[in-house]
Amino acid sequence: MPQSLQITSASPDPAILDLPWHIALEDWPAENLAALPRGISRHVVRFVRLSGKVLAVKEIGESVAYREYQLLRDLQKLDVPAVEPVGVIAGRSTPEGEELSPVLITQHLKFSLPYRALFSRYLAPDTATRLIDALAVLLVRLHLTGFYWGDVSLSNTLFRRDAGEFAAYLVDAETGDLHDTLTDGQREYDLEIARVNIIGELMDLEAGELLVDDVDTVAVGEMIVTRYRELWNELLGVEEFGADDRWRVAARIQRLNQLGYDVGEVQMTTDIDGTTLSIQPKVVDPGHHHRRLMRLTGLDVEENQARRLLNDMDTYQAATEQQNEDEEFVAHEWLADVFEPTVRAIPRDMRGKLEPAEIYHEVLEHRWFMAQEAGHDIPMSEVVPHYIETVLQHRPDEEAILGLDTATLRALGEDV
């Protein structure tokens, strides 16, 4: 091991020293690698298993590596959906003294997939639009924190299932920059980059026959602009109404809560004669349902999953005639009597297929379809085994998709 190796990490793992840093990343031996799907990258990227975790290792220039590491740490502190930075290793060289590029190490995001891996499975025709929706939500969240991405694309994003939708995570902050606030020009430029990149990526999928025939790549790419602006205007747009309609202030806040945002500060003004009232949210904080579920149950899940679980909890409260009971008590009872038994009923060898909250969401969906077909409600004791037999056992693992052969990975457009 070269003596000049320099490791920068907030929580260094001594096992990192056991990896072959004296070998160029593209030549790392197979025994060090985890065969996970990778998105398209301008850099060499490899996945490794270390201390029970999967790490992504990317060769990159030294100054860029340190800058991206710090940006990812800043985003982590701001609770923005992004991969978790582990560290930077510089000072690498071969036994012959040849210098090797530094590497940026991030933790692999469990249950996440790059967009090409999702499309390789020929998912539902609306997969593209659901990914665009998720990316639009992510871009709004980044811009609200003052983060300018500079290279918005599907390739620089990882996606996790979120109660029938997707949640998007930033995976590449190399071109990003963090400001106190962004100008309209910065936001619009990021949006234009996103539009152009997405159209190009979808056309690439189309050329590889990974898109269904009726997908309009240009229209889907344009959708990022529409969805972004709709959400941004809903969150921060000015709304005017008569001074007698003050109930609309509470209605606006309730709409934002339903979208998954808390309102920390609102600016209200009236015109000169006081007949018109204007309202504009000034501070919005995403994660409304996530925080409520975390407070009640301790479950750490995606926003849409949290919304679905909270709805099921409300249904349970009504079904057990506990409407006047404290919600903390009901939540504890629902967790112990409904959610946890359902998750525990999943065979251990199938628990890597989906996150527990996503499995529970799919079980609820499955129960609804079974009830529709039967014409009456079906108990969970019957739903779960039927779901396992007819749905779950046929799903690939998404916690960490291992065991893919070289030909399959190449078919996903990856550097193997």
pLDDT at 49: 87
Has residue 416 been placed in a domain? no
Q: In a 3-state reduction of DSSP, which class is residue 351?
A: coil
Q: Would you say residue 1 lies in a domain? A: no
DSSP-assigned states of every residue in 85-147:
EEEEEE--B-TT--B---EEEEE--TTEE-HHHHHTTT--TTHHHHHHHHHHHHHHHHHHTTE
- The interaxial angle of helices 327-334 and 303-319, nearest 10 deg, is 100
Tell me 376's DSSP state. S
* pLDDT number for residue 398: 63
Could you list the residue range(s) of the whole structural domain that residue 377 is in?
Answer: 303-394
The answer to whether position 207 is within a domain reads yes
Task: Quote the number of domains for the chain.
Answer: 4
Number of H helices, E strands in the chain: 13, 13
Looking at residue 413, what is its pLDDT?
Answer: 40
Query: Within this chain, do residues 367 and 328 fall inside the same structural domain, yes or no?
Result: yes
Residue 401 lies in a domain: no
Single pTM value for the model: 0.83
What confidence score (pLDDT) does residue 326 get?
92
Same domain, 174 and 147: yes
Print pLDDT tens along the chain (416 aa).
445 789 998 887 888 888 999 999 999 988 888 766 555 667 888 999 888 788 999 999 999 999 999 999 999 999 999 999 999 999 999 988 899 999 999 998 888 888 887 776 555 667 888 899 999 999 999 999 999 999 999 999 999 989 888 999 999 999 999 999 999 999 999 999 999 999 999 888 888 777 776 778 899 899 999 999 999 999 988 888 887 787 788 888 888 888 888 888 888 888 777 778 888 888 888 899 999 999 999 999 999 999 999 999 999 999 899 988 999 999 999 999 999 999 999 999 898 888 999 999 999 999 999 999 999 989 999 999 999 999 998 887 765 443 343 344 344 444 32
Q: Is 21 exposed, middle or buried (0-12, 13-18, 19+ CB in 10 A)?
A: buried
Q: Report yes or no: 83 and 106 within 8 Å, Cβ to Cβ.
A: yes
In a domain, 411, yes or no: no
Which own/partner contact pairs does 171-174 have at CB distance under 8 Å and 24+ positions apart? 171/39, 171/82, 171/83, 171/106, 171/109, 172/41, 172/68, 173/68, 173/71, 173/72, 173/75, 173/82, 173/149, 174/60, 174/64, 174/68
- Last residue of a domain, which of 75, 108, 141? 108
The answer to whether residue 292 is domain-embedded is no
- Domain end position, chosen among 108, 129, 164: 108
pLDDT value, residue 126: 76
pLDDT of 67 reads: 96
Asked whether residue 98 falls in the same domain as residue 117, the answer is no
Residue 122 lies in a domain: yes
Residues 248, 220 share a domain: no
Would you say residue 133 lies in a domain? yes
